[in-house]
Amino acid sequence: MYIPKLHEQPDLHALHALVRSHPLGTWATQGDGELIVNHVPFVLDPSRGPYGLLRCHVARANSVWQLFSRTVPSIVVFHGPNAYVSPSWYPSKQADGRVVPTWNYTVVHAHGIPTIVDTPAQLLEHLTELTASQEGSQAVPWRLSDAPAEFIEQMSRHIVGIEIPIARIFGKWKVSQNRSASDRLGVVAALRNNADAQSEAMAGLVEQTPRQ
């Protein structure tokens, strides 16, 4: 991924926070001479290795677990908020008109070589963790043990666990760092005016991130 210095997010805590808040990863790998891309929720274990370890599972019917490259690192993309930015939002447009549209977004790219986790005990541990990571915010968190054990065991036979130790991790925060203070205020006001959660999240990022 092309990351100009001003859009680089070097803070591992910020990268991990985005993975946790947007856990549906876009997993790209090579296999059988083609690209293979799938979408699965991940759980991050930040305690493993220098950058953490990602765990997920796929349907056993999904051939990616047989085909994924064991030599070329996979890339798992986690997408934070994104929003179109109109040049009309920049007060500086009035001065000389030397402005163009852009698109703000935040993404994390985790690179690593996947391995298969296929013992029933490890798979059950992964499913328990994944459930806990998503149910924490529910009024009455559902737990794996709420379902009959034989049912979970039966479902588990239809999935394959995957672990990806993160060898390299990159964050791109494209959040108007290159604009003047007044242009940034214009962007924040217009995004808030969109009145949706994603624009609101992007407005917050533009506010929080210092100009570079």
Tell me which residues touch its own copies (CB under 8 A): 1-2, 4, 24, 26, 28-30, 33-41, 58-59, 61-64, 72-75, 77, 79, 82, 84, 86-88, 93, 96-101, 103, 105, 107, 109, 130-131, 134-135, 138, 140, 142, 146-148, 151-152, 155, 172, 196-198
Least distance to its own copies, CB of residue 23, Å: 8
Least distance to its own copies, CB of residue 74, Å: 7
Closest CB to its own copies among residues 12, 131 = 131
CA distance 182 to 90: 7
Closest CB to its own copies among residues 47, 123 = 123
CA distance 6 to 157: 47
Least distance to its own copies, CB of residue 48, Å: 22
Closest CB to its own copies among residues 9, 29 = 29
Closest CB to its own copies among residues 49, 101 = 101
